[in-house]
Structure 1
Amino acid sequence: MQDGRMPFESRGDEDKPNLRVNSFLPDISLPSSLPAEPVPIADMANIFGVTHRTLHFYEEKALLTSKRIGQMRVYSHRNVQRMAVINVCREVGISVASITEIMEKLVRSLSQEEADDIFRDALRQRKRELTAELSTLQRQAQQIEELLVTDSDEDGADAAERGQANDIALTDPERKCLELMAEGYAPVRLARALGLSANELNILEAKIIGKFSASNRFQAVAKAVLLGVIRA
């Protein structure tokens, strides 16, 4: 897998513009305990902490392809590697449309080095976008701060926030997980860092999200930073 190629391919890959068999992909680490191929959809979903429906969606967008053994969808190791690229992109907020463009560029890459450069360029572009968004958010937060009516209102809000933060009791694993999430760890990397399986990580993240009354991991991190539970 060092050169980005895989020996087993799902039938029909050659006919899809983003899935050419002999294309190169960025060198992204995969779990050491990768199941033998073909990889059942349940294992594929567990590796990346996604739902079956998410995998079906990526197939509809021609980003992945599968074949069937009886009623079960299965994937080649090559598709696992593609999913690793997709998953990293989604974790940093790259849109599906942009991922499609990235994969189209990777199809045309002539070497592993070129594929890695394409991926790094995409990450740099996303970093620039996030920097601009952060600047906008900071400016908006400052405007809100200036519009707050009285010092007493501010003191009351601060006290309420401190009280809310004190009400959130995190276990050591939850706090460590939250801190790594704030650093931008993707699920696969996060699971390895914490020594957890994908399913165990999903359970831990669900507990954290619930404690912050958040709708997802990103909102939980944002609330934790806002309340001073962790540092950004």
Structure 2
Amino acid sequence: MPTDLRRPARTYTIRQLCLEFKCTPRALRFYEDKGLLTPARDGMNRVYSYRDRARLQLILRGKRVGLSLAEIGEILDLYEADESGAQQAAKSLRKFNERIVALEQQKKDIDAAIAQLQKGIADAEKRLAATRPDLLPRAADYDQTMRRQLDGAA
């Protein structure tokens, strides 16, 4: 008589997934509402499977690179339709390439904005040095204060 030596299917609580992926229970419930996660229920408790965990990991990766939840859902749903993963891989490849193009454009836009701001700073410093040099140290102090605040918020 053969015995089943496989381990029982691993499950996760909402708390375990939140700790592992540094997200909130509200986010997991939101993804469930959107149909991206489908945890089982044990009374009032959600029980997440290994599949749910893998899907959450893909959702968070997709969000990190700027994919919409609809796009992430399309990619995840393709795995259900074709377990070989070929359709999912093709769709992912197309979406990822589109996202790279968009991010590269954003990078160019950001670089141009930074260059404009740096030119504005240089012009303002030059004008202050010529007309009100007493204000320049305060401007530098203000800049230092703002940088500290931004670094603290990060």
Above 0.5 in TM-score?
yes
Q: 1:156 to 1:91 in 2, by over 3 A?
A: farther
The correspondence of residues 118-197 of structure 1 with structure 2, limited to 5 A, is 118-148=91-121, 149-152=123-126, 159-160=140-141, 163=144
Residue identity over aligned pairs, in percent, reads: 26
Q: 1:213 to 1:62 in 2, by over 3 A?
A: same
The structure where helix makes up a greater share of residues is 2
- AA of the residue aligned to 2:85: Q
Distance (whole Å) between structure 2 residues aligned to residue 47 and residue 118 of structure 1: 28
Q: Structure 1, residues 134-168: CA drift from partner, whole Å, max 9, x if none?
A: 11112222233334443345975984488459x96
Distance (whole Å) between structure 2 residues aligned to residue 65 and residue 58 of structure 1: 9
Q: 1:156 to 1:122 in 2, by over 3 A?
A: farther
Distance (whole Å) between structure 1 residues aligned to residue 60 and residue 29 of structure 2: 14
The correspondence of residues 5-154 of structure 1 with structure 2, limited to 5 A, is 37-148=10-121, 149-152=123-126
**Partners of 2:75 and 2:88 within 8 A in 1:** no
Return the structure number with greater relative CO, CA threshold 8 A, min gap 6.
Answer: 1
- AA of the residue aligned to 1:52: P
1:212 partnered with 2:151: yes
Q: Which sits farther off after the overlay, 143-152 or 37-46?
A: 143-152
Distance (whole Å) between structure 1 residues aligned to residue 109 and residue 152 of structure 2: 25
Q: 1:95 to 1:160 in 2, by over 3 A?
A: farther
Q: What is the CA-CA distance between 1:123 and the residue it aligns to?
A: 2.5
Q: What is the CA-CA distance between 1:60 and the residue it aligns to?
A: 0.5
Q: Structure 1, residues 47-81: CA drift from partner, whole Å, max 9, x if none?
A: 21111100000011000011221321111111111
Q: 1:139 to 1:45 in 2, by over 3 A?
A: same
**Partners of 1:106 and 1:118 within 8 A in 2:** no
Distance (whole Å) between structure 2 residues aligned to residue 40 and residue 117 of structure 1: 33
**Partners of 2:38 and 2:52 within 8 A in 1:** yes
- AA of the residue aligned to 2:26: R
**Partners of 2:39 and 2:47 within 8 A in 1:** yes
Distance (whole Å) between structure 1 residues aligned to residue 152 and residue 71 of structure 2: 31
Look up the SS of the partner of 2:152 in the other structure.
coil
Q: 1:124 to 1:68 in 2, by over 3 A?
A: same
Match of 1:11 in 2: none
Root-mean-square deviation over aligned CA pairs: 3.3
- AA of the residue aligned to 2:36: L
Look up the SS of the partner of 1:73 in the other structure.
strand
- AA of the residue aligned to 1:92: V
Distance (whole Å) between structure 2 residues aligned to residue 84 and residue 45 of structure 1: 11
Q: 1:163 to 1:100 in 2, by over 3 A?
A: same
Moved over 6 A (4+): none
**Structure 2 gaps, min length 5:** 1-8, 130-135
Q: 1:109 to 1:159 in 2, by over 3 A?
A: farther
**Structure 1 gaps, min length 5:** 1-35, 169-209, 215-219, 221-232
